[in-house]
């Protein structure tokens, strides 16, 4: 927080303090949605086992964050950024490894990126959010274009991929716009 005034540091800490509940609920949405999508798309027990191992770790990590919040020991910006990165890695691994035999662009788990990215963008400034969104979009593009075994982008899938990428970017931008509106509103109330 170098180069920031005392008021800006206070505002940044308030953003993290009030925003951590958004992170917690976004993670619970990811957990419940993952369970639903995995069970819906499973053809057998093996299809359930792959995503359940990292999901149990995600549940444990979210209990840790939720416990800190309940005990009035708020998370800091670094912890929330690490939690978001873990969420993105979890979702990316599930997309890469596949659920129900679907990998890459055919895997419906990409929808789990949206609540996590929105939660991040509601707490952090635009520059930081766009860096996180860029890394996420690059990873998703790599999976869909190059890393998914046996999957090629054809028959209109490039349009689907483009729409998904644009929607991820729009989600990040809308979240940061709302963040700025709330920041201005708090400044107006403090005056």
Q: What are the structural domain ranges in the chain?
A: 6-190
Query: pLDDT tens across 36-47, in order?
Result: 877 887 777 877
pTM above 0.85, yes or no: no
| Contact (CB, 8 A) for 30 and 58 | yes
* Residues of the chain below pLDDT 50: none
The pLDDT of residue 191 is 59
- CA 116/CA 130 separation, integer angstroms: 13
User: What span, in angstroms and rounded, lies between the C-alpha atoms of 38 and 179?
Assistant: 33
Task: Write the CA distances from 20 to 65, 147, 172, 190, integer angstroms.
Answer: 8, 33, 17, 22
Query: What pLDDT score does 104 carry?
Result: 75
Q: What is the structure's pLDDT at 130?
A: 94
pLDDT recorded at residue 18: 77
Its sign, for the CA torsion 76, 81, 86, 91, is: positive
């Amino acid at each position: 927080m170098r180069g920031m005034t005392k008021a800006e540091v206070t505002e940044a800490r308030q953003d993290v303090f009030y925003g951590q509940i958004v992170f917690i609920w976004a993670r619970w949405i990811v957990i419940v949605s993952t369970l639903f999508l995995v069970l819906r798309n499973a053809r057998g027990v093996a299809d359930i086992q792959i995503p359940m191992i990292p999901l149990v770790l995600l549940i444990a990590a979210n209990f840790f964050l939720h416990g800190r919040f309940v005990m009035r020991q708020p998370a800091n910006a670094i912890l929330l950024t690490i939690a978001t990165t873990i969420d993105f890695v979890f979702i990316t691994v599930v997309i890469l490894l596949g659920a129900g035999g679907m990998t890459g662009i055919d895997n419906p788990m990409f929808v789990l990126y949206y609540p996590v990215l929105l939660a991040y963008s509601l707490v952090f400034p635009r520059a930081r959010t766009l860096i996180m969104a860029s890394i996420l979009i690059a990873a998703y593009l790599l999976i869909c274009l190059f890393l998914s075994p046996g999957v090629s982008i054809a028959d209109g899938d490039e349009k689907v991929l483009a729409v998904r990428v644009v929607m991820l970017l729009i989600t990040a931008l809308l979240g940061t716009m709302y963040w700025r509106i709330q920041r201005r509103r708090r400044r107006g109330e403090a005056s």
